[in-house]
Structure 1
């Protein structure tokens, strides 16, 4: 078979030749590239020259470059454009790739060379990035079992193989359960309260399924507005239960056993490596360096936020009582929060959406990147793409090529829920020449409906800016070594660039520059912008509690708190009790679909969203002092972004800000202190 993944791509910027690829190409390519990489490893180990930084560390950094690109492409497709064949391949390839990773990390001869360089090199002979690579590589071997006995190395291999399979299966089960459900309504009276734009999308979904009436799904653009606007409480309850029982039902896609197995295996792995818990293992390489620090951070925020959250919920309960509801439930929250928001601020997503057509919002994000960092974005129609809905942009700086950016905005059956940034190729320098990155943003925004373009809620506007912030972290990468490039930073630092960009959505002059009516071109009225800014902290106490609850649940799973006496549902509800302001809904739980911590890399790290909020609020307060597009301040922040993981994140932040971050900016922005 002539496999395009094993040939020179022959595409602009050596981009992925998506239009030539078939699922069967991936397995043979990955197996061949693993063998090629093993030969590269053997060449390092067998090198008769004494180990030094170049012939060991730099050589190791170059191993498997094509394998990294091909495997990244495969798993990105499994997230954004999967099918049964790709999912089956993912089950096969995940343990194979885990074993390959173990083959490197448990290679005794390779580790001996790395250790010799680590123990004997003259630090003065290395620059700061080289020192960082040496330290990270050595720790990587140790943290992945290089110092274990032969017997324990084999145990580690088996654990990693099982974890690779389980996390992949977890993700696939959530997608199956999400796609399996739909709410079919034929009586228009049951849809009272829903805006015409949402009804039009539901009608289109029904027609796609060859059904009469309207269809609502668990995908974000369908689920969220239904919960927010539908007057029919019984249907809100039904949709809520459908979402909150994903992968919890007694069928082949149930994730409860997988959750237990993942937690147990992670704990076994940590103990094998000499750590008390998985959280101890993870947090050794984080700004928050221990579970105690994370828990103090979360509980301190909980103490400050809970009184505010309770006051917010009391206001909602007063509204619900007017409708004869004596006991509010979780499926009532979004509906009454929207009612209260409209009453307090006369602010409605449906009023705002016509001013936020997707393309204009994206152009606003591009304009911010241009004013801050001198970047420009132009559509490239000659770059292959994996789906017709994808758009590819060439990113340039001062006329020079900087990156490729793929954008994929709308939900499909083959795409998992949520929004994320990823990369097909990272950034590095080779023979003093730049290899520039290929970055992707994937979201689930409503599709255009007839003549109406895709219109975003304000929350989706901030989501786009958030993911664009991650993308800028990758686009601006400028390091020698790929493993230290772009988003390859401490996990509780990686959300700073993304959350930082969200702040621009609340800046009046900037917002006015792109928030324009999709039909008339009229700018969003000043009064509406004032309402957005005034409502910025709306339900902030409740939202903070919600995030803290997930953070505490994550830490409980990964500090050994789960036991066999409790069901997953009971464990979750007991753990999150202090952050819950509504009664339980029996038979529901988020854990079986909590992809962030069981399939998405956030295990013992969900706290990092709130942690990074401290950083982003403090960073943006500096921009507010100097000007939100101030050239010198932007240049300093650009250096923070382009440095990736080459500098300790706290040192990097201090270089930008002149001091350590202070939490007061976050507490003030959130309205939790005056």
Structure 2
């Protein structure tokens, strides 16, 4: 029988036929796709004709179409709707895929062809985009170890395979800890919680098959519980469980995995001639070197820590006024910060949340894209991998642009966090293909589903990534969409968050779930004035995580990552009542794969640009200035990785910004 994953997809817009695919299809599909890709690579390497851009680089771009289909479907469902079968498949697939790609990068005949092209690059009459693809392809092979020989080459293969296995185990351990823990709540325990938290707790209990409400380790539930529960004992229990993810001992403990991962990364970098993994990793980013990253983070750390310490004094006084002695603890901060926000800004999140309906915020994100880029969104009725998913066709002037899929609700089968991926990336070679972008979030389900302000920012953030995918307009898939430097990829997403704060957007779409009335002007003003509230806390927890990540990869790998984490935090003077945003055993950005390793700073690096980029709109006609929108699409959103990121940004803005824009944007600049 024909495997539905590898068959021609006759579905609308050639979306994966999820209703025809079973878990039994994945392994045989991968076997066939790997064999097909291997044969394609061998044919390119053995081509008797002299190497040319067409028969080598373009042939590599065209190879692996079947494998792309298998992996796009599998990793979509493995991340967003896992089950024991899919987890077992992922543990099997990860080392096999690592070995497969190691085999390609170690293909000496293929690398000789690329090296020959690279040596003759100035005589090949390439377009600017082709020259960029040749450079990236050649560089990628070199950095993957293509020039290694003998024992070093074999060791590199072993390291890559082991790292793939460790990354999968780290992710699955974290998911298991998040899935398996819950705190049963009695009706009395719900006292003092706003309705939306009570509703979310009841829904979580139903999802767990319990008779009553519960708190889980989903961020969309545990954070508001820590904000609003007057029960300090329950807050402590919940916070400790959240902070202990990946560090509970037993089979799901991630601490040894983190230690081994860091050692293997250091060895990998040494094999390639680098002093440290950070030096290796940052070479291709905008930052270029660890010292540049540290300079940025430390420039922000001082003002942020000072603000956080001043805030801690205020919150401690509030706690003591409640008759609680002793230091402010991490499970106290959010609760007293919320009370302070209500007192100082007269802003109650329980009163705000009914104005932030999920459906209306989706409409808001779409509307901004319509006004800025002329995109239109029409619902699609197509089979997807989970009933919670929805899809839209994206058009411009009547022409198809992309398909956008949204998977918004938390569930036990979904890994934590929020992300954007492309089930199919835009390209014009070897044939024109339109992108299929997907946003995955973990919002609490409700009827209607209501978002926190942070949730709404997350929705806009991930949709900014989706726009980067959907508006891509390049020839080759390898430089399409978000295939850019890690410290540039967050620019479109963080920039798009700014449109959530545009008053006319909130006036139009922040409407009450029951009355339909728009957000009152007084509340709108309070929301915008409070945008930087508690920014010391938010910045400290983020920068601490980024500095620990950098320290892990800057020198020799630590024998005990937890001891190294404690050493770094002590050296920074980390405030007692603030935890890292991602402590080591749950730091999936860094340990589930190489994506953000030595690169968690990227969000802040991009923020330096996003604050400056939105200022360009404000300086030139406002948030929906047509000329700035056209420039943003032309030089950044459509350009993918076709040029160096600093070149793209300068083309949009005329210059690179300094850290001052970031400090001002976060309200941390000196008065």
Q: TM-score range, shorter-chain basis?
A: over 0.9
Closer, same or farther: CA 50–453 of 1 in aligned 2, 3 Å: same
Paired residues of 1:421 and 1:471 also in contact (CA < 8 A): yes
Which residue of structure 1 aligns with residue 266 of structure 2?
A: 267
Q: For 1:561 and 1:548, how far apart are their aligned partners in 2?
A: 22
Which residue of structure 1 aligns with residue 294 of structure 2?
A: 295
Which residue of structure 1 aligns with residue 462 of structure 2?
A: 467
Which residue of structure 2 aligns with residue 606 of structure 1?
A: 600
In the alignment, is residue 31 of structure 1 matched against residue 27 of structure 2?
no
Per-residue deviation, 1:398: 1.1
Aligned pair partner of 1:493 in 476, 488, 491: 488
Which residue of structure 2 aligns with residue 51 of structure 1?
A: 51
Paired residues of 1:486 and 1:645 also in contact (CA < 8 A): yes
Closer, same or farther: CA 314–12 of 1 in aligned 2, 3 Å: same
Deviations 1:326-376 (A, max 9, x none): 310111111011011111101111111111111111000000000111101
Per-residue deviation, 1:66: 2.2
Q: For 1:58 and 1:585, how far apart are their aligned partners in 2?
A: 48
Closer, same or farther: CA 210–466 of 1 in aligned 2, 3 Å: closer
Q: For 1:637 and 1:512, how far apart are their aligned partners in 2?
A: 25
Which residue of structure 2 aligns with residue 191 of structure 1?
A: 190
Q: What is the correspondence of 1:391-410 to structure 2 with a 5 Å cutoff?
A: 391-410=390-409
Deviations 1:430-488 (A, max 9, x none): 35x5211111000011112xxx3001111111110000000000000110010100000
Which residue of structure 2 aligns with residue 659 of structure 1?
A: 655
In the alignment, is residue 596 of structure 1 matched against residue 592 of structure 2?
no
Which residue of structure 2 aligns with residue 308 of structure 1?
A: 307
Paired residues of 1:621 and 1:665 also in contact (CA < 8 A): no
Q: For 1:44 and 1:573, how far apart are their aligned partners in 2?
A: 50
Paired residues of 2:312 and 2:328 also in contact (CA < 8 A): no
Paired residues of 2:371 and 2:624 also in contact (CA < 8 A): yes
In the alignment, is residue 572 of structure 1 matched against residue 565 of structure 2?
yes
SS of residue in 1 equivalent to 2:270: helix
Which residue of structure 2 aligns with residue 529 of structure 1?
A: 524
Per-residue deviation, 1:561: 5.2
Closer, same or farther: CA 307–235 of 1 in aligned 2, 3 Å: same
Deviations 1:275-317 (A, max 9, x none): 1111111101100001111111111211232222221222211
SS of residue in 1 equivalent to 2:532: coil
Q: For 2:211 and 2:360, how far apart are their aligned partners in 1?
A: 34
Paired residues of 1:654 and 1:660 also in contact (CA < 8 A): yes
Aligned pair partner of 2:452 in 457, 462, 468: 457
Which residue of structure 1 aligns with residue 641 of structure 2?
A: 645
Which residue of structure 2 aligns with residue 510 of structure 1?
A: 505
Q: What is the correspondence of 1:132-531 to structure 2 with a 5 Å cutoff?
A: 132-186=132-186, 188-325=187-324, 326-381=326-381, 383-430=382-429, 433-448=431-446, 452-531=447-526
Q: What is the correspondence of 1:52-71 to structure 2 with a 5 Å cutoff?
A: 52-71=52-71
Paired residues of 1:391 and 1:407 also in contact (CA < 8 A): yes
Paired residues of 2:232 and 2:332 also in contact (CA < 8 A): yes
Per-residue deviation, 1:589: 8.3
Which residue of structure 2 aligns with residue 85 of structure 1?
A: 85
Paired residues of 1:191 and 1:231 also in contact (CA < 8 A): no
Deviations 1:212-269 (A, max 9, x none): 4321111122211110001111111100111111121121111111011111111111
Segment of structure 1 superposing worse, 463-472 or 509-518: 509-518
Per-residue deviation, 1:190: 2.9
RMSD of equivalent CA atoms:
1.6
Paired residues of 2:52 and 2:117 also in contact (CA < 8 A): yes
SS of residue in 2 equivalent to 1:201: helix
Q: For 1:100 and 1:212, how far apart are their aligned partners in 2?
A: 48
Query: Which residues of structure 1 form unaligned runs of 5+?
Result: none
Paired residues of 1:618 and 1:663 also in contact (CA < 8 A): no
Paired residues of 2:203 and 2:445 also in contact (CA < 8 A): no
Per-residue deviation, 1:489: 0.1
Paired residues of 1:550 and 1:576 also in contact (CA < 8 A): no
Per-residue deviation, 1:662: 2.8
Segment of structure 1 superposing worse, 50-59 or 321-330: 321-330
Segment of structure 1 superposing worse, 68-77 or 97-106: 68-77
Q: For 1:33 and 1:61, how far apart are their aligned partners in 2?
A: 15
Paired residues of 1:558 and 1:604 also in contact (CA < 8 A): yes
Paired residues of 1:9 and 1:15 also in contact (CA < 8 A): yes
Per-residue deviation, 1:508: 1.1
Q: For 1:209 and 1:302, how far apart are their aligned partners in 2?
A: 40
Deviations 1:389-420 (A, max 9, x none): 10011111111111111100111111011111
Query: Which residues of structure 2 form unaligned runs of 5+?
Result: none
SS of residue in 2 equivalent to 1:647: coil
SS of residue in 2 equivalent to 1:434: coil
Deviations 1:489-537 (A, max 9, x none): 0000000000001111211112111111122211000111100111011
Q: For 1:157 and 1:443, how far apart are their aligned partners in 2?
A: 34
Per-residue deviation, 1:585: 8.9
SS of residue in 2 equivalent to 1:125: coil
Per-residue deviation, 1:584: 8.6
Q: For 1:606 and 1:650, how far apart are their aligned partners in 2?
A: 19
Per-residue deviation, 1:149: 1.2
Closer, same or farther: CA 209–95 of 1 in aligned 2, 3 Å: closer
Paired residues of 1:245 and 1:589 also in contact (CA < 8 A): no
In the alignment, is residue 100 of structure 1 matched against residue 89 of structure 2?
no
Aligned pair partner of 1:622 in 592, 612, 616: 616
SS of residue in 2 equivalent to 1:122: helix
SS of residue in 2 equivalent to 1:112: helix
Deviations 1:628-672 (A, max 9, x none): 111111000011111000011001000000111232222212112
SS of residue in 2 equivalent to 1:604: coil
Q: For 2:661 and 2:251, how far apart are their aligned partners in 1?
A: 47
SS of residue in 2 equivalent to 1:495: helix
SS of residue in 1 equivalent to 2:472: coil
Q: For 2:138 and 2:88, how far apart are their aligned partners in 1?
A: 35
Segment of structure 1 superposing worse, 57-66 or 122-131: 122-131
Segment of structure 1 superposing worse, 645-654 or 217-226: 217-226
Segment of structure 1 superposing worse, 507-516 or 607-616: 507-516
Q: For 1:503 and 1:583, how far apart are their aligned partners in 2?
A: 29
Q: For 1:120 and 1:194, how far apart are their aligned partners in 2?
A: 68
SS of residue in 2 equivalent to 1:114: helix
